[in-house]
Structure 1
Amino acid sequence: MSEPTVLAIVLNYRTPELTIKATAAALREMQGINGEIIVVDNGSEDDSCALISAAIDRNGWGVDGRVSLAPSGRNGGFGAGNNFGIRQGLSNGKIPDFYYILNSDAWPERGAIRALLKVMQDDKRAGIVGSFIRGADGPPHQTAFRFPSIAGEFEGAVRTGVVSRLLKDSIVPMPIPSELTRVDWVAGASALLRRRMLEEIGLFDETFFLYFEETDLCRRAAQAGWHTLYAPASEVVHVGSVSTGMRTWARTPQYWFDSRRHYFVKNHGRAYAVGATVARIAGAALWRVRVALSSRALGDPPHFLRDLTIHALRGVFRRDVSKSAATLPQLTTKDVNNV
């Protein structure tokens, strides 16, 4: 069997300095691995391309196509940007065996990419493998999850110990595994994807602009019999939400609500999506009663419950646009190796 090939994709949106740092870290960890790195600029419309291109030239990263820059020409979101990178393939025109997706604000530690690759080689049904991710100041980030459900929406909103104990198997964020573990889905900040899986299930659903796209991909993978795993041996430092501005949201953006609704309608149907939203609204209302009677912090962006309710009511009169597997972006097969 020939040595597997890996195409690493670093997605940039107006974070050129972080992207250069992420690319340098990925390049270090790609040493000894047969593959390349492609930096996708996701329609930044700033000086990102000039700065990244200058860094590639200055550091000699472009020798033999080891690192390249590919402007997508538009900001279609996380899934669309990564799909663009996936479709570029290797510089020799071949399709790699694996794709490593890395956020611009994430930096793989020593052996991180190789640890993911080992999992893929050991488990031929592994389709997606995610890393253990920690903040720059040390604390681990939550990156292993169960699929969202009506029960999970209520538990996550009501934030009450007795409810969490009763619905423990529906809590979306899982306890962080200390060993290689099969999970429902992993965060896309650092993950390895098998090309054969993508050929079967399609690429990221580009209806999702941001959020829920990796949840949907992992769900389609599971339905097709592929495993999603969490590999704590692969450690990655992640600043978190720099390009999205999530940490400083003054209000939850429309695209978050759109992505959430699309996920539920697409995967469970319109009635289930309504049920999930009602459960979340009910849980959030009960939580606000507790907050009013105590000194607890609300913990939600301003106007979250009102915005969720208004979005849900508007959705009643909106036509659903849910992509089937047949209409999802596909990976063109050429020069395929069975890995």
Structure 2
Amino acid sequence: MISVLIVNYFCHTLTAHAVHSVLADDPSAQVIVVDNSNDQIEAENLRKILPSRAELVVAPINLGFGRACNLAFEQAAGEWILLLNPDAFILPNCLQQLAGTLQRHPKIGALSPLAQWDEAGTFLLPPGQMQTPAWEWMLALGLRFPAFGRWLSMRFRTYALRCLYASLPVRQRMLSGGHMFLRRSAIDAIGGLFDPAFFMYYEDTDLCRRLTKAGFELMLDPEAKVVHQWRHDPIKSQYTVESRLRYMRKHFTNFWLMDRLRQNFEQLLQPKAGKFHDIGICTTAPIFDLPTHQSGSWLLELSTNPLLIPAAYHSSTVASHSIPSSVWSLLGAGRYWARVSHPNGEWSHFTWEIPKSISKSGLELLAPKQVRSANRILHLDWAHQANEAELLDLFRAAFGYQMNPELWRWKYHAFDTLGALVRHNGRAIAFYGAMPRPVHLFGSPATAVQIGDVMVLPEERGMLTRQGLFFLAAKGFLERFVGHGRTFPLAFGFPSERPFRLGVRLGLYDKVGELAQINWPALQARPSYRVRLRPLSTNDSAAVDRLWLEMADALQDQVVGVRDWPYVQRRYMQHPTISYQLYLITSRFTQTPIGIIVIRVLEDAVELLDIIAPPQRMATLTHCLRRLTWNLGKLRTYAWITKQHAHALAGDTGEIVPTGIVIPYNRWTPGISADKVMDRWWLMGGDTDFR
């Protein structure tokens, strides 16, 4: 029997299509669907739309792809296991072809069908490439030395076309987890399906490496076909960074050295994309200027990488002057590259950019709406970058000073919608700001939103009821963006006691924590013989990422903001108005990274803004901090941290005092309950937008 495992995440229509394609090809197949949406409405939609033969498992939280597949595998009874993405569906005779190939070749542990990008088979998706530090070096060199880049690109293309247009099963280096057919005995032999440490991405790379290490072969069977409507989604790239680090750290003992050397090399030499004709910004499929008189075989390669590695391939006897709508609709915002190989051996190269846009449904949701309050008509609108000038004017009126425009842009760079905006007669009178923040939510990557710059014109502040402007702006933003099935599963902020009490009274907020301040005296002491403290440099990105992973692993029962190298760069090194000092603490003998501290030197003290290290190393870090404070000529140092972590950070020498700053939690829209998040945040002064 064949067991098919599908993970759903807010795409019940696609999932149902995938299930129907399986049962149409093999009515006896066992189909197990795991709903990862953590949303009652989505689960109910699945129950209504899935065939009765499909088994539905509703996960208690978003487990991530790998762990959800493991959950489904526990209930799978088949000898053969198919992993199938919800945005994929199989074509006739696919399952029996795959099962037959595995039966004939006992050394094959996993097998992939030929993947078409669209149902018509216009484009074929590329075979996988096993990720290694050496391969990353090859790509880095190819992007900086055009001659080597052309050779590498053509070598990969030759390999890809040989695989995609083979007549018999062909050996592979890696298979996609979106449509992978496995032998159960092979899964058992390597100790299970997916490593649960991977939330999303690289879990299939890890699986393939474990299979090959155990002596199994990976193959592609071109006689079996699947349609995988893969969509380019740049937003998900935040998950790939951490998963890549976990994978590399797991399989390559020299990874940290290789990675550091490669990053240093990439900083020294900028990429050279080659000679591409830049078509510019495209909102519709671009037209390629190609000759019409040549006859023979044309090849169009489409990629998100200037090396065209990997690329989707379209071969035809007719010149491809454009991209069909069935494929164009799958391309998200970002830059794309295309290479057209002519029958006479010449090449044409093109590049273009698809801008960020709002879908039709999004436009309907984000349209201004009228709200009646205090016998007048107000408009609840959504603020964007174009509203910067009037928002800065509102800020000056609300708080009595002018915010630096560069600081404003730095704060609100990561989200098209800056927040909810209330207008009266066209004038902005209230704002509820929003800044996305990648977090680990109980060990799983997610994106939270930090609320900040909540402001109302002074003359409009009198109404503290549900007719007031604060309530209208907050309610509007929460209902649109926060909670189950929305953009952000949870929101947080740092209000003082008075506005927090107002939010509680209006039914908007619950309390899930508070900040405490820790004060330490400076320490006059000789340098430690065990550890070394030095300024963090741009060459230390690998150490930052390593320490962040160790911190994330140690805080899997907490909600903690991501503190990887891109975050450290933007948050502290590129702040437009505040100068921070970042220090790396290492073992004096082994040079192993122990932790990172981020400080700000003030007139009378040193403020500890952030720590990147597992909590068990706090005593070492605070000792270094106190010694550094003395060397900087200050008598005391202090830090903000969530109250439940204060005693561990304070140690025996720190004094803990309340700050009056509470951590609010959305109570207005359905979502993760406040009880689950109560005293589970790891937040420090650096997590705020105002320190």
Q: Deviations over 1:106-144 (max 9, x none)?
A: 0111111222111111111211101211112621112x2
Are residues 193 and 275 of structure 1, via their aligned partners in 2, closer, same or farther at CA, if it must alter by over 3 Å? same
Q: Which amino acid aligns with 1:152?
A: W
C-alpha separation in 1, matches of 2:48 and 2:40:
14
SS at structure 2 position matched to 1:252: helix
Partner of 2:105: 123
SS at structure 1 position matched to 2:83: strand
Q: Deviations over 1:75-131 (max 9, x none)?
A: 121111111110112xxxxx3211111100001111112221111111112111012
Query: Normalization by structure 2: what TM-score?
Result: 0.39
Taking the TM superposition and a 5 Å limit, the aligned residue runs for 1:286-301 are: 286-288=269-271, 290-291=272-273
Partner of 2:542: 312
CA apart distance, 1:320: 4.9
Q: Deviations over 1:47-87 (max 9, x none)?
A: 2221121123xxxx32xxx3211112221211111111101
Q: Which amino acid aligns with 1:102?
A: L
Are residues 277 and 182 of structure 1, via their aligned partners in 2, closer, same or farther at CA, if it must alter by over 3 Å? farther
SS at structure 1 position matched to 2:29: strand
Q: Which amino acid aligns with 1:38?
A: I
SS at structure 2 position matched to 1:14: coil
Partner of 1:207: 197
Aligned pair partner of 1:224 in 201, 214, 230: 214
Partner of 2:46: 52
Number of residue pairs matched?
Answer: 292
Partner of 1:133: 115
SS at structure 2 position matched to 1:216: helix
Partner of 1:152: 135
Maintained 8 Å contact 2:97/2:223: yes
C-alpha separation in 1, matches of 2:540 and 2:41:
38
CA apart distance, 1:315: 2.0
C-alpha separation in 2, matches of 1:251 and 1:169:
28
C-alpha separation in 2, matches of 1:251 and 1:35:
32
C-alpha separation in 2, matches of 1:309 and 1:293:
31
Maintained 8 Å contact 1:151/1:167: no
Q: Which amino acid aligns with 2:7?
A: L
CA apart distance, 1:284: 7.8
Between 229-238 and 44-53, report the one with greater CA deviation: 44-53
CA apart distance, 1:219: 0.6
Q: Which amino acid aligns with 2:209?
A: R
1:264 equivalent to 2:258? Answer no
Instruction: Please state which structure has a larger fraction of its residues in strand.
Output: 2
Are residues 205 and 294 of structure 1, via their aligned partners in 2, closer, same or farther at CA, if it must alter by over 3 Å? same
SS at structure 2 position matched to 1:186: coil
Are residues 146 and 106 of structure 1, via their aligned partners in 2, closer, same or farther at CA, if it must alter by over 3 Å? same
Question: In terms of Rg, which structure is larger?
Answer: 2
Are residues 293 and 26 of structure 1, via their aligned partners in 2, closer, same or farther at CA, if it must alter by over 3 Å? closer
Maintained 8 Å contact 2:22/2:29: no
1:181 equivalent to 2:170? Answer yes
C-alpha separation in 2, matches of 1:6 and 1:318:
40
1:27 equivalent to 2:23? Answer yes
Q: Which amino acid aligns with 1:314?
A: V
1:36 equivalent to 2:20? Answer no
CA apart distance, 1:168: 7.6
Q: Deviations over 1:134-158 (max 9, x none)?
A: 112621112x233222331133343
C-alpha separation in 2, matches of 1:24 and 1:293:
45
1:233 equivalent to 2:223? Answer yes
Maintained 8 Å contact 1:148/1:172: no
Maintained 8 Å contact 1:49/1:71: yes
Query: Normalization by structure 1: what TM-score?
Result: 0.75
Aligned pair partner of 2:74 in 87, 98, 105: 87
Instruction: Please state which structure has a larger fraction of its residues in helix.
Output: 1
Maintained 8 Å contact 1:99/1:192: yes
Maintained 8 Å contact 2:94/2:225: yes
Are residues 155 and 13 of structure 1, via their aligned partners in 2, closer, same or farther at CA, if it must alter by over 3 Å? same
Superposition RMSD in Å: 3.4
C-alpha separation in 2, matches of 1:13 and 1:309:
38
C-alpha separation in 1, matches of 2:91 and 2:24:
9
Aligned pair partner of 2:4 in 1, 4, 8: 8
Are residues 172 and 213 of structure 1, via their aligned partners in 2, closer, same or farther at CA, if it must alter by over 3 Å? farther
C-alpha separation in 2, matches of 1:98 and 1:281:
45
Partner of 2:61: 74
Q: State the structure with bigger RCO (CA 8 A, min sep 6), 1 or 2.
A: 1
